[in-house]
Structure 1
Amino acid sequence: MSILSGITVIELCEVYQGPLAGQSLADFGARVIKVERPPVGDPMRLGDFHAAEHGLMSGYFAAVNRGKDCVCLDIKSAEGSAALLELVTRADVLMHNYRPGVMEKLGFGYDTLAALNPRLIYAAASGFGETGPFAKMAGQDFLIQSITGIASKTTHRDAEPSYLNVPLTDYASGMLLVQGILLALIERSRSGLGQKVSVSLFDAAISMQSLEAASALNYDYETRWFDRAPNFPMEAADGWLTVLGFFRDNPLQTICQALGIDDLSAEMKLPTARAQIAALDAIVARLRPEFRKHKVADIVARLQSLGILSAPILDFKDTLKLEQLEANEMIVTTPVEGQDDMRFIGHPLKFSRSRKAELSPPQKLGAQTRAVLAEIGLDAAAADKASGGFA
Structure 2
Amino acid sequence: MSSGLFGDLLVIDCASFIAGPAAATVLGDFGARVIKIEPPGIGDAYRNLFRLRGTPDDVDYFWTLDNRNKESLSLDLGRPEARAVLHALVTRADVFITNVPMPARGRLGVRAQDLRPLNPRLIYASLSPYGEHGPERDRTGFDSTVWWARSGLMDMVRPSAGAEPSLSMPGMGDHPTAMAMYGAIVTALYRRQLTGEGAEVTTSLLANGLWSNSCQVQAALCGYELTGRPARGARGALNEMYRAADDRYFIISSTNPARDWPLLARATGHADWLTDPLFATPEARLANGAILVARFDETFAARPFAHWAKILTEGDVTFGIVGQIYDHLGDEQIEANGLFPEIADGEGLRTVDSPFQIVGEAKAPPRMAPAIGAHTEALLRELGCSPAEVDALAAG
**TM-score computed with the length of structure 1 as normaliser:** 0.90
Partner of 2:243: 235
| Cα deviation code 1:237-265 (max 9, x no counterpart) | 22222122431127555433222236346
Q: CA deviation at 1:177?
A: 0.8
Q: CA deviation at 1:51?
A: 9.8
| Paired AA for residue 71 in structure 1 | L
Equivalences for 1:190-229 in 2 at 5 Å? 190-222=194-226, 228-229=235-236
Does the Cα contact within 8 Å between 2:343 and 2:365 map onto a contact in 1? no
Partner of 1:64: 66
Q: CA deviation at 1:158?
A: 3.1
SS at match of 1:33: strand
Q: CA deviation at 1:381?
A: 3.7
Does the Cα contact within 8 Å between 1:46 and 1:58 map onto a contact in 2? no
Q: CA deviation at 1:12?
A: 0.6
Instruction: Work out the CA distance in 2 between the residues paired with 1:59 and 1:53.
Output: 10
| Paired AA for residue 41 in structure 2 | P
Question: Could you say if the C-alpha distance between residues 285 and 229 of structure 1 is closer, same or farther in structure 2, counting changes exceeding 3 Å?
Answer: closer
Does the Cα contact within 8 Å between 2:29 and 2:366 map onto a contact in 1? yes
SS at match of 1:333: coil
Instruction: Work out the CA distance in 2 between the residues paired with 1:268 and 1:347.
Output: 50
Q: Residue 350 of structure 1: which of 357, 378, 381 is its match?
A: 357
Instruction: Work out the CA distance in 2 between the residues paired with 1:53 and 1:157.
Output: 35
Does the Cα contact within 8 Å between 2:78 and 2:107 map onto a contact in 1? no
1:382 aligns with 2:389: yes
Question: Could you say if the C-alpha distance between residues 247 and 325 of structure 1 is closer, same or farther in structure 2, counting changes exceeding 3 Å?
Answer: same
Partner of 1:312: 321
Structure with more of its chain in strand, by fraction: 1
Number of equivalenced pairs: 387
Q: CA deviation at 1:66?
A: 0.8
| Paired AA for residue 202 in structure 1 | L
Instruction: Work out the CA distance in 2 between the residues paired with 1:343 and 1:310.
Output: 29
| Cα deviation code 1:91-142 (max 9, x no counterpart) | 1111101222321222221112111111111101111111112222222122
Instruction: Work out the CA distance in 1 between the residues paired with 2:40 and 2:263.
Output: 62
Q: Residue 270 of structure 2: which of 261, 268, 272 is its match?
A: 261
Question: Could you say if the C-alpha distance between residues 249 and 40 of structure 1 is closer, same or farther in structure 2, counting changes exceeding 3 Å?
Answer: same
Question: Could you say if the C-alpha distance between residues 341 and 254 of structure 1 is closer, same or farther in structure 2, counting changes exceeding 3 Å?
Answer: closer
| Greater Cα shift, 275-284 or 124-133 | 275-284
Q: CA deviation at 1:50?
A: 9.0
Instruction: Work out the CA distance in 2 between the residues paired with 1:183 and 1:64.
Output: 22
1:162 aligns with 2:169: no
| Cα deviation code 1:309-361 (max 9, x no counterpart) | 2122221111233111111111112255xx74421011222222221123432
SS at match of 1:293: coil
Question: Could you say if the C-alpha distance between residues 54 and 305 of structure 1 is closer, same or farther in structure 2, counting changes exceeding 3 Å?
Answer: closer
Instruction: Work out the CA distance in 2 between the residues paired with 1:357 and 1:177.
Output: 20
Does the Cα contact within 8 Å between 2:267 and 2:312 map onto a contact in 1? yes
1:371 aligns with 2:378: yes
SS at match of 1:203: helix
Does the Cα contact within 8 Å between 1:141 and 1:167 map onto a contact in 2? yes
| Paired AA for residue 152 in structure 1 | D
Question: Could you say if the C-alpha distance between residues 245 and 280 of structure 1 is closer, same or farther in structure 2, counting changes exceeding 3 Å?
Answer: farther
| Paired AA for residue 356 in structure 1 | K
Does the Cα contact within 8 Å between 2:278 and 2:285 map onto a contact in 1? no
Question: Could you say if the C-alpha distance between residues 349 and 262 of structure 1 is closer, same or farther in structure 2, counting changes exceeding 3 Å?
Answer: closer
Q: Residue 288 of structure 1: which of 297, 301, 306 is its match?
A: 297
Partner of 1:303: 312
Instruction: Work out the CA distance in 2 between the residues paired with 1:223 and 1:346.
Output: 38
For structure 2, the residue ranges without an aligned partner over 5 or more in a row are: none
SS at match of 1:263: helix
Instruction: Work out the CA distance in 1 between the residues paired with 2:75 and 2:54.
Output: 23
For structure 1, the residue ranges without an aligned partner over 5 or more in a row are: none
Instruction: Work out the CA distance in 2 between the residues paired with 1:313 and 1:186.
Output: 39
Q: CA deviation at 1:229?
A: 4.2
| Cα deviation code 1:24-75 (max 9, x no counterpart) | 0011111100010122111222322399865434110010111111111011
Question: Could you say if the C-alpha distance between residues 171 and 362 of structure 1 is closer, same or farther in structure 2, counting changes exceeding 3 Å?
Answer: same
Instruction: Work out the CA distance in 2 between the residues paired with 1:340 and 1:354.
Output: 25
Does the Cα contact within 8 Å between 1:229 and 1:274 map onto a contact in 2? no
Partner of 1:90: 92
Q: Residue 368 of structure 2: which of 361, 376, 380 is its match?
A: 361
| Greater Cα shift, 145-154 or 155-164 | 155-164
Q: CA deviation at 1:299?
A: 1.3
Q: CA deviation at 1:235?
A: 1.4
Partner of 1:23: 25
Q: Residue 128 of structure 2: which of 126, 129, 133 is its match?
A: 126
Instruction: Work out the CA distance in 2 between the residues paired with 1:275 and 1:221.
Output: 25
**TM-score computed with the length of structure 2 as normaliser:** 0.89
Partner of 1:188: 192
1:176 aligns with 2:184: no
1:149 aligns with 2:149: no
| Greater Cα shift, 109-118 or 367-376 | 109-118
| Paired AA for residue 170 in structure 1 | D
Question: Could you say if the C-alpha distance between residues 271 and 102 of structure 1 is closer, same or farther in structure 2, counting changes exceeding 3 Å?
Answer: farther
SS at match of 2:154: coil
Q: CA deviation at 1:85?
A: 1.1
| Cα deviation code 1:349-374 (max 9, x no counterpart) | 22222211234321111110011111
| Paired AA for residue 339 in structure 2 | M
| Greater Cα shift, 243-252 or 124-133 | 243-252
